[in-house]
Amino acid sequence: MDHDLSFHSGERQTASTYDEVRADHRYRYEWADRLIPSQGYGLDAFCGNGYGAWLLSKTRNLLAFDGSKEAVVFATEHFATPSARFAHAYWPFSLPHGVFDFVVSLESVEHVPDGAQFFAALVQSLKPGGMLVFSTPNEELLPHAPSGNHFHYKHYTLEETLALAVGEGLEIVAWAGQDTYLMQDGRMVGHLTDLDMTLKDQRPGQFNIVACRKPAQSRTVMARLRSALS
């Protein structure tokens, strides 16, 4: 399976201004921005061309990294702020434990073969009480095999997505679904309008996004999963 990390692979947003980035991608970061507390120091894991880090850094400090050196150069040139630092890294990597107030990783876990281990590394890097926001393509509404997306290893059902969080002891704060594509026979044939791409709370979409928090006290995995799905 060829996982092309180049900046112009066709998988990435390549706009040089925030408003030119496709609406569905902006909406996910804006959803995260509303839920993550202001201030604090965080991580944007696999930041792409840097537009999301630019948004989050308006009221926070953060480290943003990507697996593409070209993307990091582009982000530094077009989306640098005094509060955001861009760097190159690709999984597998090591993160310090318990240092970040928040972690954002949108449309990332499907790009690594061992998604659960990648997710666990993000969780370990959070401080107690820290928030993690992540999103995944939904296998139930955007199946991996018919889509032919060779950039992804797998897509996740809603239950699998929530289970990533609860399995690591996180509390679900909120989740939402987003539709992006017009589908025909399980394949993408076009894009929805910007209005139709808005996120809908607690309603599954072609992409699901989850905000979760690392608690001070643990709860059982099944109790957390039942709570998340209710």
Amino acid 203: pLDDT: 97
Question: What's the pLDDT score for residue 185?
Answer: 79
SS3 207: strand
82-133 pLDDT tens trace: 999 999 998 888 899 999 999 999 988 987 888 899 999 999 999 999 999 9
CB 180 within 8 A of CB 206: yes
CA 201 to chain centre: 16
Kindly report the CATH number that applies to the domain delimited by 18-229.
Answer: 3.40.50.150
pLDDT attached to residue 6: 59
**53 to 124, 162, 169: CA distances (angstroms):** 21, 24, 26
pLDDT, position 184: 84
Pick out the chain residues at pLDDT < 50.
Answer: 1-2
CB-based contact 137:152 (threshold 8 Å): yes
